[in-house]
Chain A
Amino acid sequence: MNTLILTSIEQGLIFSVLAIGVIITIKILDFADMSVEGTFPMGAFIFAKFITTGFSPIISTLLTFILGTLAGLLTYTLNIKLRIRALLSGILTATILYSANLRLNGRSNIGLTSYDSIFDGFRPVIVLILIVLAVKILMDLFLRTEVGYLLIATGDNETLVKSLGENSNKYKLIGLMLSNGLVSLSGALMAQYQGFSEISMGTGIIVVAIASIIVGDTVLRNSKILKMTTRAIMGALIYKFIGALAIDLGLAPTDLKAINAAIVIIFLSYNTFSPVKMRKARKIKAVEGVKC
């Protein structure tokens, strides 16, 4: 049970970097960016490429973030410059990345256990906590800057951003690049944690990200103090733990993707049909009845 908790925490921390990345597109920009499915394994494959070429683990990990932003640039180009719908743009990027990832190393599965990783010499959970904290703090600081607020305003009301004299597309580009960079970073962390990069590790990863965001928003709904990023981290941890619990209770690891989807469905329906909300709705109806 103890290893179960520790593994859930460690994987949850890796997924919280993913969730913070996806928040930028899905929650802030209101842009359903599916390219994540390709960017997550891309991070793992870029890391594999650099580490097998002889770069240090820290440099390799940082490079996955920087190169990951290019996936955002591609989605932006498809969506804004070529005017392809957001959803399709993301899917196209993911599809291109699938081939690009295979081309990069020439293989669909690369073992990394014989190479250095950023976890060497430390407990993974400590390293991960430090990375997640750094990402969270930087993200929170960024969202308080003038540019950060314009990013939020772009998702909220593009007309306003234009009336402020700014080109709203610029902020979509910043958001998409930042988001994909973080997702790629998360993929690189996962590759080092599990000891291999594999082409199918991105399949269904968008559901994992959305699940983390929704769980975080649902469980901590009534807290006004918690920031978006904190919610995402808590959500990823809780979500990962539920999944691990399900497997511990006897479900096969192959069932995991269905469990992921089930968690999303359950939390979404809870948000819609929660007893509190239903009671409120009935109350409103009753009051309206009196008025009539």
Chain B
Amino acid sequence: MLDIINLSKTFNQGTDYEISIFSNFNIHINKGECTAILGANGCGKSTLFNIISGFLMQEKGIIKLNGKNINGLKENERAKFIGRVHQNPSAGVSPSLTILENISLSDKKCQKFTLRKLIRKNKIEAYKEILRTLDLGLETKLDTEVKYLSGGQRQSLSLLMATMNKPQLLLLDEHTAALDPKTSRLVMEKTQELIKTQNITTMMISHNARDALMYSDRIIMLDKGEIILDLRKGQITEKELLNIYNSRNYGSPLTEAV
């Protein structure tokens, strides 16, 4: 599915602040699986996502998606097969547009945008149906501007929009970190539902050991740009995971789920 081969990435190259995040990093992600990526701040999780999505370019290494080299594709071109949900609930939506307008935009994702009217009356029912699956009552608020929604509602909408055209790979970048524990649980469950029913290959950055164990098929822990742990679900308990994490990363324990 996703192969990263001999990846190297250095920030601030040639200055006193030069810092190498990855050198000759390799990873293979299996099709249809949800892979959790754990690690302390600065271990390279977000950099990895930024490189996969094309937001950052690597110095060396090949990114292959389904056997196809995507190195030469720009961020917006990769969006055709890679969906991403960010930590900030506002990053995946257009806050000053309404729910209906946001959904209509994402429905046109990766097609040609033309001078035809965006809002199609005949699609509204279908959109309502999709929104109903979120169970948040958003289907009755189609004409509400997204900026008036709560963080959880906005994040659920982002998730829906990112998965609407079934991406080949979904990147979840700590997408529940900005939410309160209850909403976070809710959004995690919706996420699970969406990716399992559509069988979307997912990579999920998380700081929550219980979430990682509960929702993913494989757990990878990074430290200083290297994989220090790569286990299948059930091969490790929450306590063991926390112990490993804490012994490696001084002073930044993995938050326990509430």
Shortest Cβ distance from A219 into chain B, in angstroms? 21
The answer to whether B118 and A144 have CB atoms under 8 Å apart is yes
Please report the C-alpha to C-alpha distance between residue A159 and residue B89 in the assembled complex, in whole angstroms. 12
160-198 of chain A: CB within 8 A of chain B: 160-168
Q: A146-B118, A147-B115 are in contact. List 17 more A-B contacts (CB 8 A).
A: A146-B113, A147-B114, A148-B118, A152-B94, A153-B94, A156-B96, A161-B76, A163-B76, A163-B83, A163-B84, A163-B92, A164-B106, A165-B76, A165-B80, A165-B110, A167-B74, A167-B76
Q: Does B91 contact A (CB under 8 A)?
A: yes
Q: Does B116 contact A (CB under 8 A)?
A: yes
Shortest Cβ distance from A160 into chain B, in angstroms? 5
Can you list 12 A-B contacts with CB-CB less than 8 angstroms, sorted by A residue number?
A146-B113, A146-B115, A146-B116, A149-B105, A153-B94, A153-B105, A156-B97, A157-B94, A159-B86, A160-B91, A161-B76, A167-B74
B90, B113, B115 — most chain A CB neighbours (10 Å) = B113
Which chain B residue shows the least CB distance to A27? B96
Please report the C-alpha to C-alpha distance between residue A163 and residue B74 in the assembled complex, in whole angstroms. 11
Please report the C-alpha to C-alpha distance between residue A168 and residue B105 in the assembled complex, in whole angstroms. 14
Please report the C-alpha to C-alpha distance between residue A50 and residue B242 in the assembled complex, in whole angstroms. 76
Which chain A residue shows the least CB distance to B110? A165
Residue from A145, A147, A160, A165 in contact with B93 in the complex, judged by beta carbons closer than 8 Å:
A160
Q: Does A150 contact B (CB under 8 A)?
A: yes
The answer to whether B101 and A164 have CB atoms under 8 Å apart is no
Across-interface contacts of B79 in A (CB, < 8 A): 162-165
Across-interface contacts of A146 in B (CB, < 8 A): 105, 108, 113-118
Which chain B residue shows the least CB distance to A162? B76
> Which size class do B's interface residues fall under?
20 to 34
Q: Does B109 contact A (CB under 8 A)?
A: yes
Which positions in A face B, CB cutoff 8 Å? 142, 144-150, 152-153, 156-157, 159-168
Across-interface contacts of A148 in B (CB, < 8 A): 118
The answer to whether A149 and B118 have CB atoms under 8 Å apart is yes
Across-interface contacts of B94 in A (CB, < 8 A): 152-153, 156-157, 160
The answer to whether A157 and B95 have CB atoms under 8 Å apart is yes
The answer to whether A166 and B119 have CB atoms under 8 Å apart is no
Shortest Cβ distance from A148 into chain B, in angstroms? 7
Residue from B93, B96, B113, B115 in contact with A152 in the complex, judged by beta carbons closer than 8 Å:
B96
Shortest Cβ distance from A169 into chain B, in angstroms? 10
Chain A interface, DSSP helix/strand/loop, else mixed: helix
Give per-residue flags for B155-182: 1 if the beta carbon is below 8 A from chain A beta carbons, else 0: 0000000100000000000000000000
Which chain A residue shows the least CB distance to B81? A165
Please report the C-alpha to C-alpha distance between residue A48 and residue B74 in the assembled complex, in whole angstroms. 45
Please report the C-alpha to C-alpha distance between residue A197 and residue B165 in the assembled complex, in whole angstroms. 54
Please report the C-alpha to C-alpha distance between residue A150 and residue B117 in the assembled complex, in whole angstroms. 12
The answer to whether A150 and B76 have CB atoms under 8 Å apart is no
Give per-residue flags for B58-87: 1 if the beta carbon is below 8 A from chain A beta carbons, else 0: 000000000000000011110110011010
Across-interface contacts of A161 in B (CB, < 8 A): 76
Please report the C-alpha to C-alpha distance between residue A162 and residue B74 in the assembled complex, in whole angstroms. 9
The answer to whether B114 and A157 have CB atoms under 8 Å apart is no
Please report the C-alpha to C-alpha distance between residue A153 and residue B95 in the assembled complex, in whole angstroms. 9
Please report the C-alpha to C-alpha distance between residue A152 and residue B146 in the assembled complex, in whole angstroms. 14
Across-interface contacts of B118 in A (CB, < 8 A): 144-146, 148-149
The answer to whether B114 and A145 have CB atoms under 8 Å apart is yes
Across-interface contacts of A145 in B (CB, < 8 A): 114-118
Please report the C-alpha to C-alpha distance between residue A153 and residue B114 in the assembled complex, in whole angstroms. 15
Which chain B residue shows the least CB distance to A159? B91
Residue from A144, A150, A163 in contact with B113 in the complex, judged by beta carbons closer than 8 Å:
A150
Residue from A157, A162, A166 in contact with B90 in the complex, judged by beta carbons closer than 8 Å:
A157
Please report the C-alpha to C-alpha distance between residue A160 and residue B105 in the assembled complex, in whole angstroms. 10
Please report the C-alpha to C-alpha distance between residue A145 and residue B97 in the assembled complex, in whole angstroms. 13
Shortest Cβ distance from A225 into chain B, in angstroms? 13
Across-interface contacts of B84 in A (CB, < 8 A): 163
Shortest Cβ distance from A81 into chain B, in angstroms? 15
Which chain A residue shows the least CB distance to B107? A164
Shortest Cβ distance from B138 into chain A, in angstroms? 17
The answer to whether A166 and B76 have CB atoms under 8 Å apart is yes
Question: Taking A146-B114, A149-B97 as contacts, is the C-beta distance between A164 and B86 under 8 angstroms?
Answer: no
Please report the C-alpha to C-alpha distance between residue A147 and residue B117 in the assembled complex, in whole angstroms. 9
1-54 of chain B: CB within 8 A of chain A: none
The answer to whether B115 and A165 have CB atoms under 8 Å apart is no
Across-interface contacts of A160 in B (CB, < 8 A): 91-94, 105
Please report the C-alpha to C-alpha distance between residue A149 and residue B101 in the assembled complex, in whole angstroms. 8
Shortest Cβ distance from A123 into chain B, in angstroms? 34
